[in-house]
Amino acid sequence: MKYGYVRVSSRDQNIDRQMTAMKEAEVPSERVFIDKISGKNFNRPKYLRMIRKLQENDEVYIKSIDRLGRNYEEIIEQWNILTKVKNVDIVVLDFPLLNTKNSVNGVTGKFIADLVLQVLSYVAQIERENIHQRQKEGIKEAKKRGVKFGRPPLDLPKEFYEVVTLWQSGCISMRSASAKLGINHRTFAKWVSLVEGQKDENIDCLCN
């Protein structure tokens, strides 16, 4: 049997393109499983339901590999479950090399697809490492030019810390503390939160 899997990241995204591809591949609409959820993992209700229905020699169609998932390590794990444990074929419509039904010069489609996925996983890992390295180098060069990172210092009233101490010790309420500084209690709470956040950042820098 032919099954289709369609995924978008949110409920307001359009699935028409993927559904058209399923129709062109002659996948019956009643056997198309649709998830409107992030692809960060495979804990998806319709995907898991499809897995339970699959029988040996069934076929699973997806429009593109990123509809299956975002993380290549997890994609490879699921690919192995589908092709080796469930023993079904997978057809990625936008990527002919990821079609386990095909064979080239006696080499099976499953073998070719496994190799392609390993290469894609390696390329994705290298790209992540390159992005991280470029970010580090960019920050280093920016610091040389005097660029400051992190939150700018707050321009607080000189009596702010004294009032905060009174509030933290329970001597005055938040509204009283706010009134002493001539601000509303929401601004007071925001300032306290920002000051605490800057303290945490400083501690992290010392630890690193």
Q: Which residues are catalytic?
A: 9
Residues 27-60, buried b or exposed e (16+ Cβ, 10 A)? Answer: beeeebbbbebebeebebebbeebbeebeeebbb
CB 89 within 8 A of CB 100: yes
Q: How far is 152 from 130, CA to CA, in rounded Å?
A: 29
CB 41 within 8 A of CB 93: no
Q: What does DSSP assign to residue 30?
A: G
**Strand bridging mode 103-104 / 107-108:** antiparallel
Task: Give the contacts of 63 (CB within 8 A, at least 6 positions apart).
Answer: 6, 17, 18, 21, 22, 92, 93, 94
- The angle subtended at Cα 86 by Cα 35 and Cα 7, nearest 5°, is 15
Indicate left, alpha or beta for 24 from its phi (over 0: left) and psi (-120 to 50: alpha): alpha
CB 12 within 8 A of CB 70: no
